[in-house]
Structure 1
Amino acid sequence: DNEGAGPPSTGSTTTRVMGKKQPEADPPVRVETTTEGDGKTFPSHGDALTVHYTGRLAKSDEVFDNSRERAPFSFTLGAGTVIRGWELGVASMSLGQRATLSISAEAAYGRKGCDQRGNASGTGFIPPNAALIFDVELLDINDQRGVASEGRRAARSTLRGVPSFLGSCRLPPSTPRAMLDPGC
């Protein structure tokens, strides 16, 4: 049961890092709520999460990946299968919440960037030292569906594999495992 496991919802747009208001000038992740979640059900380490997301380059606003064009994306929080910025940002979201995650280059792909172009949008290129912006909606935590995701349940794909873009890039050696391909 994940109720009460995370930060309470404030009912307004907030900027949070790892679930706490952050006065820091340049945190690795900024989370700005665009749609409140239930405010009481938060993900914990090891939880199976399902999200929809759109990823953009912060500098140019170019979209490099969009799960809304395919199917929701599932991953396990804390398993090291997504970039560190996602681990930090999504952990602070409540079930059903939609938020903008502004992720520093260090919490994304760092100095190496990512040159994969095989994602659904056909772009996929992330230059070195690129900050990223993700519009993320937390649909499910361990199959507990948020109110917004209930309407999508019937249309949801049974494919719960790795989006081609998220599983294709190598991270700098100093960065914790972050994307889905074990070969990265």
Structure 2
Amino acid sequence: MRRRSLLLAAVPAGLATIAGCGDDDKSASSKASASPSVSAAPPPKIVEGPLPAITAGTKFNEKPTVAKGTGQPAENLAVKTVIAGSGRTVAENDFIQANYLGQIWATGKVFDQSYDRSPLVLQLAKGSVIDGWRYALAGKKVGSRVEMAVPPTLGYGKEGNAQAGIKGTDTLVFVVDLLNAFNSKSSATGKPVPQTDTALPKVGTNTDGKAPSIDVPKADPPKKLVSNYVLEGDGAALKADQAILCQFKGVVWESGKPFEQTYTTGRLSQFSLEQMQQIVKGLSQGLVGKKVGSRVMIVVPPDLGYGDTPPSGGVIKKGSTLVFSVDILAAM
């Protein structure tokens, strides 16, 4: 599993799994990742500076070099849009995909950065990320570069972060390149792939954030795992040790009844492919190697699903074959 970012809040949001499936679409609301509640405290005052100069790597999504802070930093959150993007506006509780660099104001020491690894994906929500990011990035547009100076009260507090070498009195400087943003209305962005096999389910290709249709043929299900593109994206192929951010819908082949989905819940789902391997093995296996930005139709035979031990009280029975439509929004 790739290294966890140091800027996550002390209690990062957990990864949701499809552990128990209910009778209808309402069941998904308790299983998909919930948006943490917004703090009741008033937003902090935001000022324009002071902020250190970006001395190199000045283009969007280029690894920056930032000068050491001079003088005393502001007591408030200082925020500047260095490059204005033209994408959609980010709102609190959205998930963002970003590259970033963080350093300590007084010393200029870089304590964390993603440009040499892979972009960070996290929820812009209380409990998921330090408060300075929540307040500085809400309202910014995708495609923007934002610089901020975060006082301790909106960072790691009086305790600091010993792992990163951050003291409880340190103001932190970040440069953040907003690459993408996702919410409950997000869909896969790939190109439609012909669905010509009449013996397999046909999945809708709508990209409006609504649940796609899943039409199951009146035929016996395949006995082996099937994983096909419905919309093929152009992102990186998923690896077995990654987690994903997604929209999904699942139905039972034999009855056509849905057992879980995210599209009407106002929430997205996050899960680790390694963890899913222990729950619905076929779902994990069907996603490995598929490209980010895709919609994938996966048929999971009983031996790679719940087999003879289905979740109690639901529409999944012993020996049920499961059909999933999964929109892979981002890899985490």
Normalising by structure 2, report the TM-score.
Answer: 0.34
* Local SS of the residue matching 1:96: coil
* Local SS of the residue matching 2:97: strand
User: Computing the radius of gyration over CA atoms, which structure comes out larger, 1 or 2?
Assistant: 2
Taking the aligned partners of 2:122 and 2:140, their CA distance within structure 1 comes to 15
Which residue identity does 1:105 align to in structure 2? P
CA distance 1:84–1:41, shift in 2 (3 Å): same
Match of 1:32 in 2: 80
Normalising by structure 1, report the TM-score.
Answer: 0.59
1:138 is aligned to 2:138: no
Taking the aligned partners of 2:46 and 2:160, their CA distance within structure 1 comes to 29
Taking the aligned partners of 2:161 and 2:46, their CA distance within structure 1 comes to 30
CA distance 1:57–1:160, shift in 2 (3 Å): farther
CA distance 1:34–1:23, shift in 2 (3 Å): closer
CA distance 1:115–1:21, shift in 2 (3 Å): closer
Taking the aligned partners of 2:49 and 2:238, their CA distance within structure 1 comes to 40
Mapping of residues 1-184 of structure 1, within 5 Å = 22=47, 26=74, 28-38=76-86, 41-116=88-163, 124-142=164-182, 154=235, 159=242
Q: Can you give the 5+ residue segments of structure 1 that lack an aligned partner in the other structure?
A: 1-17, 117-123, 145-152, 162-184
CA distance 1:31–1:67, shift in 2 (3 Å): same
CA contact (8 A) 1:50 1:74 kept: yes
Q: How many pairs align? A: 127
Taking the aligned partners of 2:166 and 2:110, their CA distance within structure 1 comes to 10
CA contact (8 A) 1:50 1:138 kept: yes
Taking the aligned partners of 1:155 and 1:55, their CA distance within structure 2 comes to 25
* Local SS of the residue matching 1:111: helix
CA distance 1:134–1:21, shift in 2 (3 Å): closer
Structure 1 stretches of at least 4 aligned residues deviating more than 3 Å after TM superposition: 20-28, 153-161
Measure how far apart 1:24 and its partner are: 9.9
Taking the aligned partners of 2:49 and 2:138, their CA distance within structure 1 comes to 19
Measure how far apart 1:92 and its partner are: 3.3
* Local SS of the residue matching 1:50: strand
Q: Deviations over 1:30-64 (max 9, x none)?
A: 111221111x6211232111110000001111100
Aligned-residue Cα RMSD (Å) equals 2.9
CA contact (8 A) 1:55 1:134 kept: yes
Percent identity over the alignment is 26
Measure how far apart 1:80 and its partner are: 2.0
CA distance 1:125–1:24, shift in 2 (3 Å): closer
Measure how far apart 1:157 and its partner are: 7.7
CA contact (8 A) 2:46 2:78 kept: no
CA distance 1:102–1:154, shift in 2 (3 Å): same
Q: Can you give the 5+ residue segments of structure 2 that lack an aligned partner in the other structure?
A: 1-42, 51-73, 188-233, 245-332
Higher relative contact order (CA 8 A, sep 6+): 1
